Structure 1
Amino acid sequence: MTSAVPTNATTPDGPAKPITMFGPDFPFAYDDYVAHPAGIGSVPTAAHGTRVAIVGGGLSGMLAARELLRMGLRPVVYEADRIGGRMRSVPFEGHPGIVAEMGSMRFPPSSTTLFHYLDEMGLHTEAFPNPLSEATPSTVVDLKGETHFARTLADLPEVYTEVAEAWTRALEEHAELGALTEAIRARDTARLKEIWNELVRRYDDETFYGFLARSDAFKSFRLREIFGQVGFGTGGWDTDYPNSILEILRVVLTAADDHHRGIVGGSQQLPERLWSRPVSGAAHWPEGTSVQGLHDDGRPRPAVTEIRRTAGDRFTLHDADGRIDTFDLVVYTAQSWMLLNTIRTDEGLLPIDHWTAIERTHYMGSSKVFVLVDRPFWKDLDPATGREVMSMTLTDRMSRGTYLLDQGEGQPGLICLSYTWSDDSLKLLPLDAEARMDLMLKSLGAIYPGVDIRSHVIASPVTISWEAEKAFMGAFKANLPGHYRYQERLYTHFMQDRLPAECRGLFLAGDDVSWTAGWAEGAVTTALNAVWGVMHHLGGSTAPENPGPGDVFDEIAPLVLED
């Protein structure tokens, strides 16, 4: 129910340095890099105006486009659907300002590079009501037909405290939690890599479930079952049990599951503003130029249908409107699986080992169902108990996770009736929005028999299954055991001096090639890697006082496991 990492620790000298998403695989201080007054790099004047195709209009694509424009290049964005990618905020007609976050909806403060851009774009955040968080008035845990009301962990039966303590113990005994988090706080790269690289060697072939089952702390199947259904931080994690334990350790060590914030007005605003707002101080371009302003009619080009290499080491792209255009460079930020099916591609675009890594990438499905209600009725007090009539809910029923989202005084209320993953998401795939709502109301009716949720609904439900979205085919990448080698290849693709000459010029970015897939910070940092790669390819460089990720790569490179 709670993270094992104390993010607000203190020391004898005062508050400890915060935990950030610094590593552990590639501990580069991206937050310091983007905030440095010297900027993140420049290209020679002769390269100004070079056209770079950006495939994908999500957060990674928009950030790469903006930073390349800042360097004086000309980004050309292709987007299959809408600017935003999995930052998709769906409005309710007649209710301005209220949106259902169909993808990204909560962001840890440890995502310090992401928050740099949120601040730059003038966006604000507010505490997100995760289970048992300070922003959540109450939480209900409903497992195996037993329902428990809680304001803090101490209000739940003792077994839940046992589960939380078992998780902390397992991490301390088998993953050196304390030493790793201290190294991340101190940004002690040498110590961090020493410990983490050994854990990679030890656990690359281990599942999340196997890690728990081999721990003395989780000898009890009951504890493993409860932990899977209730979890820590944001809810149950049993849908992640088949995944690599390394994926889970990255989340825990970097406090990615702690103290989440939501973006006021919707997360889609961030990629939209990166697209539309003028870039101050850009090289080559007039003051006031935006990425959007460089596009015909202010719209991105449609979906890419083909990418092929052509003479002069250039790239020719076809789009859904039948337009054919050729570019010097490409930054590819869409789901990598699309290179295998919906986009015709030359095999020579990437080395064969990279194609294997893409082919073996494992994606997690995810679904959500939202309803708009006339008011936040859940705050009403039950006269018999004195408690709120409804709470943030975790359950083993079909709804799994239900979130109550207060929109402010005098506003309707918003309920995420269900947030599910993987197999739980697949169970909903054949059902339309109405059927999904009915199913979730049935589940919640068993937990809150005296509450008529349906009578408060004032708009049609909205839903999504990311695995059914043609341009996504899943919510995010999640490595399976043995996939570390594949991840290392994809993440380090921006270091193209190491690739055959005929495979250079197309740069992979996006959260599904990052070490922290599913977190916006990974989309941001891989975009910055690709920007550095483009800059380097064109003969550019960073300021000596602010080296980029490629400049220090050899010092902090991810571990390369032998075959």
Structure 2
Amino acid sequence: MTFFTTNRSSEPNQNVQRTFVDVLYDHTGYLEANGGRLGPAGALNGRSVAVIGAGMAGLMAAYLLDQQGAKVTIYEASEHAGGRVRSVRPVPGDPAIFEMGAMRVPPSEQLFNYYAAQFGIKPGGQFPDPGKVNTNIIFQGGTYEWAAGLRAPAIFDNVSAGWDALAGYWTKHIGDNLADPSRFVYAQSNWQSLIYPYGPSSPEQGYSQISFYQGLVQAFVENAARWNTSPWTSQDFALFGALGLGSGGFGPLYPVNFAEIARLVVNGLETDQQFYPSGLGGIADGFVQRLRSSQIQFRTRVTGVAQTGDRPTVTFLPPNATRPATASFDAVVVATTTRSMEVDMGISSSPDWVLPDATGTALREIHLMNSSKLFVLTKRKFWQGTDLPQNIQTDGLCRGLYCLDYPDSDYGVVLISYTWGDDSTKYIALRDPRQRLETLLDSLAPGAPKFVRTLREQIVEDRTAMVDWQMEPQFYGAFKLNYPGQDTENADLYYQFLDESPAGIYLAGDSVGWCGGWIEGALQTGVNAAAAVANRIAGPGGLFPGSPMTQTSNRYTYGN
């Protein structure tokens, strides 16, 4: 997901974060130092592990455990691996792709880039984000052109000045310190001072306790001069809510906590985003192809996880079966969304659930955001060599439109609408892709008549696809974004793998991690869960020194 860009230099960032600020553990550095392994080969020979969910967290955990000799059974309810990394080819055999989930990756996603290099998955240049390519901005009936590489239109001057100053402060004092493990301590101190500050001179509430909207008021109304901006007016808030800095509206995110937005900046997730023409699904394929003694059971829905004696058990419904089956294992990794854990498996309310009560509460309460996409295939890349924009951002139904160039395909790909939160629920009842497409184009036509007219002529019939992640079985939402006060619950979920669970059940997934919606968060939790399994089965000798089990759960205070 992407919410904004800034007017800072487009030169590549030399200070690439090694980890996320809430994690402060270099997962990639550990794997690099140990030949890509968690511990000695053969340490888990003959031991059985279940992984529930073949998304990125589940595949990461299964891959590492498989390397150590474990026999891993992966239960996947759908027919494909990857979870929300879903690369769909509208024409079989053609390179054009609809990225229904993740679609761009910044350099700070270290684990992703580590495995992408191993699997031969290469970026193909800058993603066509607003301002990186010719962009049109449509706001309150007006259309504003934004030429590639230049400043955003003047209507954004005041909001951009303030936001760039604040984001620059975060980057300088926190983000840049994440590039060097020896400076993590400075990032930690500075981050703590923002999320939940101490002392009589500190603000009453930190970023973890206030909403995004409250944070904006605090920064750009009450303290505007500090951030190089005139006090924001109601018009500025309307503009920022509808279009951000010209790259997507923040309005649906106003209720989430301010720390979630700051994380995007300090973790480098909005910087130098790269486009992968071969499809991000190649990461999932790479893991699957390298599993040795493990297997994925597709179309197998898990309905329960419990403890029987000193071993965890999994209850599942095999394909075409009418009665569930049960199997026991040495350990279980549950790598689904938190909502699937609750709705499909009843984990948080099961009397057999032996994890701490705080974990169950967090699992039930943590907030997941909605998200929707609609793609069309076009006969050619009609925007090339013309005055038509390659990106359109609007305050209407479409919100964000992207024209995507897959260089080895003659077809064009247009992401007609990428929305989240309330903007995606506005039209969720339109279940027919053709009806939704026409509704979106009718909404866009008054502000971009030439583009819509040309697009209509170019659309390839019966090659339209859409997804509403909140409507997808076993997902029930797109990505985690914490409400005020929920960072404490997020910490309970992330650090659950450190608990000495008598049940041997460990949680993973991007909704357990610290940056929902990004592949990296899922991969980090997959590594954590695999380390916990190895530690449970083989003890400290199952891991190399300095493993993920050395992380500490009391690094930060997020609230009372």
The bucket for the TM-score relative to the shorter chain is 0.7 to 0.9
Task: Specify the SS of the correspondent of 1:229.
Answer: helix
1:340-383 deviations in Å (ceiling 9; x for gaps): 222244342322111100111111000001000101111242xx
Task: Specify the SS of the correspondent of 2:303.
Answer: strand
2:192 matched residue in structure 1 = 197
2:243 matched residue in structure 1 = 230
Q: 1:152: how far off?
A: 4.2
Where do residues 482-497 of structure 1 align in structure 2 (5 Å cutoff)? 482-497=485-500
1:476 matched residue in structure 2 = 479
Any conservation in 2 of the 1:43–1:541 contact (CA below 8 Å)?
no
Task: Output the CA distance in 2 between the equivalents of 1:418 and 1:558.
Answer: 40
Is 1:452 equivalent to 2:454 in the alignment? yes
Aligned residue pairs, count: 526
Q: 1:307 to 1:157 in 2, by over 3 A?
A: closer
TM-score (norm 2): 0.88
Task: Output the CA distance in 2 between the equivalents of 1:548 and 1:233.
Answer: 42
Any conservation in 2 of the 1:399–1:418 contact (CA below 8 Å)?
yes
Q: 1:545 to 1:94 in 2, by over 3 A?
A: closer
Q: 1:228: how far off?
A: 2.4
1:39-82 deviations in Å (ceiling 9; x for gaps): 44326957412111000001111111011001111111000112
Task: Give the one of 82, 95, 98 matched to 1:97.
Answer: 95
1:275-300 deviations in Å (ceiling 9; x for gaps): 123xxxxxxxxxxxx25x633xx754
Q: Which amino acid aligns with 2:161?
A: E
Task: Specify the SS of the correspondent of 1:126.
Answer: coil
Q: 1:113: how far off?
A: 1.5
Task: Output the CA distance in 1 between the equivalents of 2:342 and 2:489.
Answer: 16
Task: Output the CA distance in 2 between the equivalents of 1:449 and 1:105.
Answer: 27
Runs of 5+ consecutive residues of structure 2 not aligned to the other structure: 197-205
Where do residues 349-364 of structure 1 align in structure 2 (5 Å cutoff)? 349-364=354-369
Is 1:51 equivalent to 2:48 in the alignment? yes
Task: Give the one of 361, 370, 373 matched to 2:375.
Answer: 370
Q: 1:562: how far off?
A: 5.7
Any conservation in 1 of the 2:398–2:443 contact (CA below 8 Å)?
yes
Q: Which amino acid aligns with 2:429?
A: P
2:213 matched residue in structure 1 = 209
Task: Specify the SS of the correspondent of 1:261.
Answer: coil
2:304 matched residue in structure 1 = 306
Q: 1:390 to 1:192 in 2, by over 3 A?
A: closer
2:141 matched residue in structure 1 = 145
Any conservation in 2 of the 1:43–1:538 contact (CA below 8 Å)?
no
Q: Which amino acid aligns with 1:164?
A: S
Is 1:467 equivalent to 2:464 in the alignment? no
TM-score (norm 1): 0.87
Task: Output the CA distance in 1 between the equivalents of 2:40 and 2:368.
Answer: 36
2:201 matched residue in structure 1 = none
1:529 matched residue in structure 2 = 528
Task: Output the CA distance in 2 between the equivalents of 1:4 and 1:253.
Answer: 16
Q: 1:25: how far off?
A: 1.2
Any conservation in 2 of the 1:130–1:233 contact (CA below 8 Å)?
no
2:504 matched residue in structure 1 = 505
Task: Give the one of 227, 248, 262 matched to 2:275.
Answer: 262
Task: Give the one of 27, 30, 51 matched to 2:24.
Answer: 27
Task: Output the CA distance in 1 between the equivalents of 2:110 and 2:246.
Answer: 19
2:426 matched residue in structure 1 = 427
Task: Output the CA distance in 2 between the equivalents of 1:410 and 1:353.
Answer: 50
Where do residues 319-358 of structure 1 align in structure 2 (5 Å cutoff)? 319-320=317-318, 321=321, 322-345=324-347, 346-347=350-351, 348-358=353-363
Task: Specify the SS of the correspondent of 2:144.
Answer: strand
Deviates more, 1:455-464 or 1:312-321: 312-321
Q: 1:65 to 1:401 in 2, by over 3 A?
A: same
Task: Give the one of 158, 166, 174 matched to 1:180.
Answer: 174
Q: Which amino acid aligns with 2:232?
A: K
Q: 1:195: how far off?
A: 1.1
Task: Specify the SS of the correspondent of 1:408.
Answer: coil
Where do residues 281-320 of structure 1 align in structure 2 (5 Å cutoff)? 290-291=291-292, 294-295=294-295, 299-300=297-298, 302-320=300-318
1:3-56 deviations in Å (ceiling 9; x for gaps): 3776858xxxxxx85222523112111121121145443269574121110000
Deviates more, 1:403-412 or 1:507-516: 403-412
2:202 matched residue in structure 1 = none
Task: Give the one of 232, 239, 257 matched to 1:219.
Answer: 232
Any conservation in 2 of the 1:307–1:318 contact (CA below 8 Å)?
no
Task: Specify the SS of the correspondent of 1:309.
Answer: strand
Any conservation in 2 of the 1:488–1:558 contact (CA below 8 Å)?
no
Q: 1:546 to 1:146 in 2, by over 3 A?
A: farther
1:539 matched residue in structure 2 = 538
Task: Specify the SS of the correspondent of 1:316.
Answer: strand
CA-atom RMSD, angstroms? 2.4
Q: 1:309 to 1:189 in 2, by over 3 A?
A: same
Q: Which amino acid aligns with 1:521?
A: E
Q: Which amino acid aligns with 1:257?
A: E
Any conservation in 1 of the 2:369–2:481 contact (CA below 8 Å)?
yes
Task: Specify the SS of the correspondent of 2:417.
Answer: strand
Task: Specify the SS of the correspondent of 2:549.
Answer: coil
1:115-151 deviations in Å (ceiling 9; x for gaps): 00111111111234343454x2x01111011101111
Deviates more, 1:57-66 or 1:32-41: 32-41
1:96-118 deviations in Å (ceiling 9; x for gaps): 22221111111111111110011
Deviates more, 1:228-237 or 1:158-167: 228-237
2:256 matched residue in structure 1 = 243
Runs of 5+ consecutive residues of structure 1 not aligned to the other structure: 10-15, 278-289, 382-387
Task: Specify the SS of the correspondent of 1:539.
Answer: helix
1:550 matched residue in structure 2 = 549
1:384 matched residue in structure 2 = none
**Sequence identity of aligned pairs in percent?**
26
Q: 1:128 to 1:557 in 2, by over 3 A?
A: farther
Q: 1:530 to 1:234 in 2, by over 3 A?
A: farther
1:275 matched residue in structure 2 = 288
Is 1:74 equivalent to 2:74 in the alignment? no
Q: 1:454: how far off?
A: 1.4
Task: Output the CA distance in 2 between the equivalents of 1:300 and 1:233.
Answer: 41
1:199-247 deviations in Å (ceiling 9; x for gaps): 1212221111111111224532222222222225852222111111111
Task: Output the CA distance in 2 between the equivalents of 1:107 and 1:119.
Answer: 13
Q: 1:53 to 1:423 in 2, by over 3 A?
A: same
Q: 1:309 to 1:389 in 2, by over 3 A?
A: same
Is 1:65 equivalent to 2:68 in the alignment? no
Deviates more, 1:124-133 or 1:324-333: 124-133
1:422-443 deviations in Å (ceiling 9; x for gaps): 1011012111211111012112
Any conservation in 1 of the 2:137–2:145 contact (CA below 8 Å)?
yes
Task: Output the CA distance in 1 between the equivalents of 2:15 and 2:411.
Answer: 36
Q: 1:156: how far off?
A: 4.3
Any conservation in 1 of the 2:52–2:74 contact (CA below 8 Å)?
yes
Q: 1:505: how far off?
A: 0.7
1:373-414 deviations in Å (ceiling 9; x for gaps): 101111242xxxxxx224300000100000001123660111
